[in-house]
Every structure is written in C-alpha cells, then in structure tokens.
Structure 1
Amino acid sequence: MKFTCSININKPKLDVVKHFEDPEALKQSQKGFQRIDHLSGNKKEAGAKSKLIYAKFEMIETIIENKLPDTFEAQYDHKNMSNTMHTEFVAINDHETKLTTIIEYTRFTGFIINVMARLFPSMFRKQVDKWLVKFKYYVEKQ
C-alpha cells in the first residue's frame, strides 16, 4: 500500500525542517509519542537506527537517506508492520513551505492488521493527514 500526503505550512522552509528534526514536534503532532533513543550509526546519517517510543508501542527508525533541508527518507519497523516514508520540503515562497510525504507499507504481520489494511486502507492515510495537520499547527505557532 502506497500513498502521498501533502500540506502547506505558513513558515519558511528552514523553519519547517528545523521543527521536523526536533522530537518536541513529534510530541505535539503524534499522540502518545514520548522520546527517541539513538541505537546505532551516526545520528541523522544514512544507516543510523533509533527507537521511537510511544505510550502504547515502539518502533525502529532506520535512516535511508538524509538530504535535509530538501528530503528525508527512513524505514519504520514495528512488530506488526513496516513502512518507508519519503519526506520532501519545497519552498513555495519565502514564507510558505510545502511538505509532502510518500508512505509505502511493505509488511503487515498478524490477522487484524492485515484485515484493516485490506478493508480500510484509507484509515492509514487519514492518520498521516492528521499528523501533518497537527505538525502544521505546531510549527505555525512557533
């Protein structure tokens, strides 16, 4: 399953990227996010692994490519699923940035998650859209 979500943020590109890299933005935009623990590799570089800890689950982030302030790509592995996320930042003008994410789920494990992915694929996109809206509001408040 693959989909794209985009949002325009009323802040300069470098401001948006700064917040994208800040774990505080995850706390504000993703319910239950608690912290990131670096596991291996050089932080923020391809191959680096970190554990993302949420109130009800954990996942491993592996950076595939970091070409910020333009693009960032990582793989996220959870016991029930894996996905890649490619994120792009494009300056619309000096005060507005378009953030686009391309999400591709590559693995689902377990009966319930497989059923949800097949019967309700729009649920996954809606969740990403919700996170992007919360991220936008957080960044624009700063």
Structure 2
Amino acid sequence: MKYTTEIIINKPRAEVIEKLDNPENMKHWQRGFTGYNQLNGTSGEAGSQMEMHYKTGKREMTLTETIVKNNFPAEFHATYDAKGVHNIQKNFFEAIDENTTKWRSECEFQFQGFGMKLMGFLMPGAFKKQSKKYLDDFKNFVENGTSVAN
C-alpha cells in the first residue's frame, strides 16, 4: 500500500527541521509515544537504528527505525519495522517562502502474514488517517507549542 500525505506548516523550514530532528520532541506530536533508545550508529546518520516505543490503551508496540538517507533540510528517508509490517517513508521539506514549509511524506507499507495483509487490505484508511494525524499534530506543535503528551 502506497500513499502520499502533505501539510503546510507556517514556520521557516529551519525551525521545522530543528523540531523534527530532535527525538525528545516526538512525545509532543506522536500520540502514544513513550520513549526511544539508540540501538546502533550515530543518531540521525544514515544506517543508524533507533527503537521507538508506543502505548495505545493496553496495547504496546515497538518499532525499529533505520535511517536510509538524512539530507536535512531537504529530505529524510527511513524505514520502520514492527511485527508483520515494514514501512518505508520518504519525507521532503520545501521552503515555500521564508516563513512557510511544505512537508510531503511518501509512505509505503509492506505487510507480512495473513492477519497483517488482511488488515492492510480492509483498513487502508486507518493507516492514512494515522499518518495525517501525525502531520497535523506536528504542525500544531511547531506553530503553537501544543503537545499531545499526557
């Protein structure tokens, strides 16, 4: 499953990237985020890996992020792996003007196992909705300082 999501953020690209590139900020725009730990490599560099932890209700989930390409401020590509799901994300950041940034996120989900493939087939909207929610929450965090952290 592939789709693209984008959002306009009313802040300069340098400020957007500064907020995005700090893992301590993830709790402010990724609902359910509970923490992370660097697995290997230097944080932010291609090839480095980070384990990310989430909790939604009683369900806990761990993702492994592998940075594929970090060419900030223009682009950032990574993969995210969890049980039964491989997510490839290509993120592009365009300065519309000195105070406006467009973030375009190209997502590809690859599912393993019957259950995950069925969920991807039956519920593609849920994945798109979650991606859009992250972008909306990030925009709100950068523009207004609003945090989704509990």
Q: Percent identity?
A: 38
1:70 is aligned to 74
**Cα RMSD over matched residues?**
1.2
The separation in 2 between residues aligned to 1:41 and 1:22, in whole angstroms, is: 16
Contact 1:25 1:135 in 2 (8 A): no
Paired AA for residue 124 in structure 2: P
Structure 1 residue 140 and structure 2 residue 140: aligned? no
Give per-residue Cα distances to partners, 1:19-57, cap 9 Å, x unaligned: 111224321221110222111112211110110111211
Stretches of structure 1 that go unaligned for 5 or more consecutive residues are none
2:148 is aligned to none
**SS state at 1:60 partner:** strand
Bigger Cα displacement from structure 2, 19-28 vs 86-95:
19-28
1:122 is aligned to 125
**SS state at 2:141 partner:** helix
What is the aligned counterpart of 1:104 among 103, 108, 112? 108
Stretches of structure 2 that go unaligned for 5 or more consecutive residues are 146-150
TM superposition score normalised by structure 1: 0.93
The alignment of Structure 1 onto Structure 2 pairs a total of residues equal to 141
1:49 is aligned to 49
1:17 is aligned to 17
Runs of 4+ aligned residues of structure 1 deviating over 6 Å after TM superposition are none
The separation in 2 between residues aligned to 1:130 and 1:24, in whole angstroms, is: 19
TM superposition score normalised by structure 2: 0.89
Contact 1:46 1:65 in 2 (8 A): yes
Paired AA for residue 54 in structure 2: Y
How far is the alpha carbon of 1:79 from its aligned partner? Answer: 1.0
